[in-house]
Amino acid sequence: MTVLQDDLTLEFTAPLWRWEARREFWTFVSLPAELTGEVRELAGDLPRGFGAIRAHGRVGAKQWWTSVFPQNADGQYVLPVKKSVRESNGLELGDDVRVWLQLHP
């Protein structure tokens, strides 16, 4: 993981995984576990659902607006990876994904 420019912008590589709790095909990458406390602190008492934090992501040349949110009450934060992002980068489940992410609390 490399922190860029400021504490709100980072790059990391993580495997692409499927969320099994839904019937729809949703895929995610997990933010580095060592950032969980810092990201939770950024979220603070924001009134957004699920403790979500607005974010701007980029994988390859594909950029999108999204949110990161904790997997559970004490969990690591995850980033949903849209189908269009997967397809434009030829990503499959289990692939390591290089992510650029800027948080917007």
Give per-residue pLDDT as tens, 17-47. 998 776 778 899 999 988 888 887 776 666 5
pLDDT value at residue 7: 67
Q: Which domain holds residue 58?
A: 2-104
Tens of pLDDT, residue by residue over 54-104, are 999 999 999 999 999 888 777 899 999 999 999 999 999 999 999 999 988
Contacts 24+ apart (CB under 8 A), 4-7: 4/100, 7/38
Question: Which secondary-structure segment (H or E) carries 28?
Answer: strand 27-30
For β-strands 96-104 and 9-15, DSSP reports them as antiparallel
Give the whole-angstrom CA distance, residue 5 versus residue 68: 19
Q: Which DSSP helix (H) or strand (E) runs through 41?
A: helix 36-43
Higher per-residue pLDDT: 83 or 105: 83
Q: What burial class does residue 34 get, using C-beta atoms within 10 Å of its C-beta: 0-12 exposed, 13-18 middle, 19+ buried?
A: exposed
User: Residue 12: what pLDDT?
Assistant: 93
Q: Residue 4: pLDDT above 60?
A: no
Query: At 74, which CATH number?
Result: 2.40.30.100
Would you state the pLDDT for residue 95? 98
What's the sign of the alpha-carbon dihedral 69, 50, 63, 97? positive
Domain count, the chain: 1
